[in-house]
Amino acid sequence: MAFRSNPLSGSAQESPATAFSLGILLLRLMLGLIMMSHGTQKLFGWFDGGGITGTGKEFTQLGYPAGKAMAVVAGLSEGLGGAGIFLGLLTPLAAAALLGTMINALWVTWDGGFFAPKGVEYTLLIAVSAAAIALTGPGRYAIDHYLPVVRHHRLSYGLGAIVLAAVAACAILLTRS
């Protein structure tokens, strides 16, 4: 950890960059774990999920064509996007995968109100968290920090990820009947 001396108190104090990176790490780990779990529900039926068949039926009822294919797309987006966020690996793309999926989820559930059990508050929190990580980057404690291609996060990467998520989500939503 990086420490610097505070001239007023004479005590050592953690740097703002360290505190930021630890805070983002905590957010990434929890968001990644939650989304990986949701992905496995859709893909494998784990944690009382519907698996591809059950989730596919839900997607068909929501007006998506090829419900099973959409279940695979959503499961992979959540599972791999969650893993990327958890590890801090290709973070802008991982955040785009989660955000795009959550935009779709918000669109089809918005009429359920705001609060649980049928509301959008949880989905909205996931979407905003993914967008926030896209904008801030993964912090120092991430695999991206050690990759030469993405070592230095740029705001343009985060903005690009948000645009990518919105365009992909709109393309999928346009396929609904």
Instruction: Give the DSSP H or E segment for 9.
Output: none
Query: What is the average pLDDT across 15-40?
Result: 95
With beta carbons less than 8 A apart as the criterion, state whether 41 and 60 touch: no
pLDDT at 1: 46
Peptide bond into 148 cis (omega under 30): no
Query: What is the average pLDDT across 85-101?
Result: 97
* % residues pLDDT > 70 (the chain): 91
With beta carbons less than 8 A apart as the criterion, state whether 122 and 116 touch: yes
Query: What is the average pLDDT across 39-67?
Result: 96
Residue-level length of the chain = 177
129 in helix, strand or coil?
helix
Q: For residue 10, what pLDDT band results from cuts at 50, 70 and 90?
A: very low
Q: What is the pLDDT of residues 145-157, one digit of tens each?
A: 888 876 677 889 9
Q: Is the pLDDT of residue 100 over 70?
A: yes
